[in-house]
A = this chain, B = another copy of it.
Amino acid sequence: MSLASQMVRQVRARDPRAIARAVTGVEDNEPWSDELLSLVGPVDDDSLVVGVTGPPGVGKSTLVSRLVSCWREQKKRVGVVAVDPSSPFSGGAVLGDRVRMMEHALDPDVVIRSMSSRGRLGGLAAAAAGAARIMAVAGCRRILLETVGVGQSEMDVTRLADVTMLVLAPGMGDAVQALKAGLVEAADLLVINKADYDGAHVLARQMESAAVFPRPLVMTVATTGQGVEHLLQTIDRVAESIARSGDRGKRRQQAWATETMARLLDLLQPRLQQMLDSEAGTFSSEPRVAARELLSRFFGGDQK
């Protein structure tokens, strides 16, 4: 039996160390990781991948921790992939987030993994997708992909989810930016956290009136747990309606394409870099022209 198939067997048996090792191997692109993921296969229909996005400081991690608690009350196994801001600097928030998730650290039915996007092109989305698939095979029925809405690769992560929620909070002046960036349109449901703060209802009305298609909007206070049960029901309701409409298949297809593209970029970049470094002298001194020249060599000369 190959190492990969042995590991998949251990992952299916929910061995925490095997799960951690499998995810790490995928993140590090270990030689056995392709075979492992082939054996793992796509996320099955019993598991739901829930994307959580929103700016720093709105309380996403506290909310995620609350959602985990609620799902655990329902006896569901839960996976969390927390994508750190890609900064090489931790900042204060990340540590705080980790502390907030600590309450679940000893629960064997909660699988938590944090990832950073630093230094990778597509790698983050590829690794997050792989981690979600491993967690599904390890019996997690709800898998949360939490990401600060920072950077292309983090945004890709939301394209891996079956359902995506956008979390905002009053008094951060982000509503307009979120709308401009098309994030409200991209989200399946909106959450106004810190609903006990001034301006929460104004923000809710802004969001509701601005979205072209109305979206479910839930008000929460993650620190007290207020509204979290309602959020949970809303997630399930939205997920069911997506599944019924046939959109779930489309989203899984999109997740496949996102993971494939992410992996492709990871494979491609070192090759391009090598060609650029080793044959630098043969390219135009104008980078824009050189880029087209390099592209032609790749594509076989018939590109413009």
A34 contacts partner chain B, Cβ-Cβ < 8 Å: yes
- Minimum Cβ distance to chain B for residue A26 (Å): 9
Does A107 have its Cβ within 8 Å of any Cβ on chain B?
no
Near B by CB (< 8 A), chain A positions 139-177 give 148-153, 155, 172-174, 177
Once the chains bind, are A38 and B150 in contact (CB under 8 Å)?
Answer: no
**Is A268 in contact with B295, judged by CB distance below 8 angstroms?**
yes
Determine if A267 and B295 form an interchain contact, defined as CB atoms under 8 angstroms apart: yes
Q: For the complex, what is the distance from the CA of A100 to the CA of B256, rounded to whole Å?
A: 44
Q: Which of A275-291 contact B (CB under 8 A)?
A: 276-277, 280, 283, 285-291
A24 at the interface (CB under 8 A from B): no
Please tell me if A213 contacts chain B, counting CB pairs below 8 Å. Answer: no
A234 near B: Cβ within 8 Å?
A: no
A residues 103-151 touching B (CB-CB < 8 Å): 117-121, 126, 129, 148-151
Given A88-B181, A181-B118, residue A151 in contact with residue B153 (CB < 8 A): yes
Structural contact, B261 and A91, CB atoms closer than 8 A: no
- Please report the C-alpha to C-alpha distance between residue A56 and residue B41 in the assembled complex, in whole angstroms: 40
Residue A273 interfacial (CB < 8 Å): yes
Min CB–CB distance A243 → chain B (angstroms): 19
Chain B residues within an 8 Å CB radius of A150:
85-87, 150-151
Given contacts A152-B121, A155-B119, is CB(A180)–CB(B264) below 8 Å? no
Chain B residue numbers with a CB within 8 Å of A181 are 88-89, 118
Is the Cβ of B292 less than 8 Å from the Cβ of A267? yes
Please report the C-alpha to C-alpha distance between residue A14 and residue B183 in the assembled complex, in whole angstroms.
Answer: 38
The yes or no answer to A52 lying at the interface (CB within 8 A) is no
**A149 and B38 within 8 A (CB):** no
Contacts of A206 in B (CB 8 A): none
| Distance in angstroms between the alpha carbons of A263 and B291 in the assembled complex | 6
Q: Which residue of B lies closest to A55 (CB)?
A: B89
Is B153 touching A152 in the complex (CB atoms < 8 A)?
Answer: yes
Find out whether the CB atom of B117 lies under 8 angstroms from the CB atom of A151.
yes
Knowing A178-B89, A298-B298, the reply to whether A37 touches B286 (Cβ < 8 A) is yes
A89–B56 alpha-carbon span in the complex (Å) = 9
Least CB distance from A295 to B in Å reads 6
Interface flag for A216 (CB, 8 Å): no
Digitize A17-31: 1 where CB-to-B-CB distance is under 8 Å, 0 elsewhere: 000000000000000
Q: List 11 A-B contacts (CB under 8 A).
A: A34-B286, A37-B287, A86-B151, A89-B177, A89-B178, A90-B177, A256-B290, A260-B276, A263-B287, A265-B269, A298-B298
List the interface of chain A (C-beta within 8 A of B).
Answer: 33-34, 37-38, 41-42, 54-56, 85-92, 117-121, 126, 129, 148-153, 155, 172-174, 177-178, 180-181, 183, 253, 256-257, 259-261, 263-265, 267-269, 272-273, 276-277, 280, 283, 285-292, 294-295, 298-300
